[in-house]
Amino acid sequence: MTGEFIQPADVVELTGLSLAALAQLRYQGKGPRFYKPTPRTVLYKRAEVIAWLEASAQTRTGAMV
């Protein structure tokens, strides 16, 4: 199981987001799926964070009509 679950600080490294932005995404339900094994522990699966990033790939800027 080593390396499968990562902490928010590791997600920050992978994504370039700040810890505050990551927490805001959790609150809004817009970020990668996360796990709470205890009330004060937040974990992510590395593969799910990468999949979330890849799902946001764009080919152009601006809104599509």
pLDDT digits (tens, 9 = 90+) for 20-40: 999 999 999 999 999 999 999
Let me know if residue 65 belongs to a domain.
no
User: pLDDT at position 1, please?
Assistant: 46
Let me know if residue 61 belongs to a domain.
no
Let me know if residue 18 belongs to a domain.
yes
| Number of domains into which the chain is organized | 1
Let me know if residue 64 belongs to a domain.
no
Model pTM greater than 0.95?
no
Residues spanned by the domain of 13 = 5-55
% the chain with pLDDT above 90: 85
Q: How far is CA 54 from CA 9, 29, 30, 47, 49, in A?
A: 19, 18, 14, 10, 9
Q: Which residues contact 40 (CB under 8 A, 6 or more apart)?
A: none
Let me know if residue 30 belongs to a domain.
yes
Least confident of 13-17, 19-23, 55-59: 55-59
